[in-house]
Amino acid sequence: MKLLSFAVPCYNSAAYMENCVNSLLLGGDDVEIIVVDDGSKKDNTAEIADRLESEHPGIVKAVHQENGGHGEAVNTGLKNATGLYFKVVDSDDKVDPDAYKKILETLKKFIDEPLDMLISNYVYDKEGAAHKHVMQYRSVLPKDKVFSWDTAGHFKKGQYILMHSVIYRTEMLKESGLKLPAHTFYVDSIYVFNPMPNVKRMYYLDVDFYLYYIGRDDQSVNEKVMIGRIDQQMRVNNIMFDYFSAKKDEIKDHKALYSYMYNYLEIITTITSVLLILRGDKEALKIKKDYWDNLKDRDEALYSKLRHGFLGVAMNLPGSFGRGISKFGYRVCQKIFKFN
């Protein structure tokens, strides 16, 4: 068995995918790198994937599929994973070599009694930025020890776990029933939300492992692109809302887990709302109102908690002046947390 399986979703990624794979090859025979060509047509992604497999037999595996979107590529990677642990690395990102060595050393300590999730830091590698913002968890998670949700601290607003932070135990992820929706962007949030009730044994390694590249105009997290794909953001938000609604009674006694998942849902719902406010036309504002009304119809108690919390109030201030305040608050958070 491999120690760690990487899934690298690729869609017309010829310009940068090889840099990503090269950063992962440092793991040698301990890892497998599943390069998922998601129906690329505009460039030679498929050919690069096949060449990498031939150059690194037993380590790189090229898998080709009809286009299904990022989520379906992750699903395919998970189906093909044979490693004890599993991680997704997007094709325009890479990992830090020194941190990578420490990650592998740590995972090897937990072969007989595997972790469910290893958490590490990630770096916003924003194009043109002199300072690279690091998302770390020193204030909330115990370092260098096995812990559970019962001993985790309280996550601050804006401090949450992304796909870039986590390495899952492969079988735990499969047993959780995770299946990401096809042809949908922003499914990363579902990936780090739905499995959480199944996560029992965690470990935080305080290293800056994942280098998360942002800055391309065509990138899915570009603000204009996100506004144009608001329907997909709403789809992800709905899946998370319904999942939490179904699980909230089951997890209510696990206070740290409940708080973490609720706060994450609150952040995602805030993002959905603010993107519609930023779009600003009458149709967008009607969509926003209808969206909140729909949440109320599906779970009135959860809706009420979200709607009357600080962020829910801030995203529903009346009139153009109120929306201006909402926009201002969003821009302040954008500067603090360095997203988009």
Residues 194 and 247 in one domain: no
Nearest alpha-carbon partner for 136 in 155, 117, 150: 155
- Which neighbouring-strand residues pair with 219? none
Using an 8 Å Cβ cutoff, are 116 and 203 in contact?
A: no
Query: Residue holding tokens 């529903």?
Result: 316
Q: Three-state DSSP class for 5?
A: strand
The pLDDT of residue 249 is 96
The pLDDT of residue 159 is 78
Using an 8 Å Cβ cutoff, are 12 and 42 in contact?
A: yes
Residues 162 and 282 in one domain: no
Residues 15 and 69 in one domain: yes
- The continuous run of DSSP H or E covering 208 comes out as strand 202-214
Of the residues 214, 233, 262, the one at which a domain ends: 214
Of the residues 165, 180, 214, the one at which a domain ends: 214
Residues 168 and 121 in one domain: yes
The pLDDT of residue 176 is 95
The pLDDT of residue 85 is 98
Q: Let me know how long the chain is.
A: 340
Cβ burial, residue 46 (10 Å; 0-12/13-18/19+)? middle
Residues 59 and 159 in one domain: yes
Number of folded domains that form the chain: 2
The pLDDT of residue 236 is 97
The pLDDT of residue 127 is 67
Residues 141 and 242 in one domain: no
Residues 208 and 229 in one domain: no
Cβ burial, residue 227 (10 Å; 0-12/13-18/19+)? middle
Residues 238 and 311 in one domain: yes
pLDDT, block means (10 residues), the chain with 340 residues: 97 96 98 98 96 98 97 98 98 97 98 97 78 88 95 83 96 96 95 97 98 73 85 97 97 93 94 92 95 97 95 88 81 59
Q: Give ∠ CA 176-181-186 in degrees, rounded to 5.
A: 100
Residues 24 and 86 in one domain: yes
Which ranges constitute the DSSP H helices of the chain?
A: 17-24, 45-55, 69-80, 97-108, 170-175, 188-191, 223-228, 230-251, 255-279, 282-298, 300-307, 310-314, 319-337
Quote the distance between the C-alpha of residue 146 and its chain's center: 22
Q: What does the DSSP 8-state code read for residue 155?
A: P
Q: What does the DSSP 8-state code read for residue 213?
A: E
Residues 209 and 227 in one domain: no
Which residues, 6+ apart, have CB-to-CB distance to 338 below 8 Å? Answer: 124, 126, 129, 133
The pLDDT of residue 25 is 98
Residue pLDDT, tens place only, 51-79: 999 999 999 999 999 999 999 999 999 99
The pLDDT of residue 213 is 87
Whole-angstrom Cα distance, residue 210 to residue 16?
16
Query: Residue holding tokens 């939300």?
Result: 193
Residue-range definition of the domain harbouring residue 298 = 223-337
Whole-angstrom Cα distance, residue 259 to residue 265?
10
Residues 145 and 244 in one domain: no
CATH number (domain holding residue 173): 3.90.550.10
Residues 203 and 230 in one domain: no
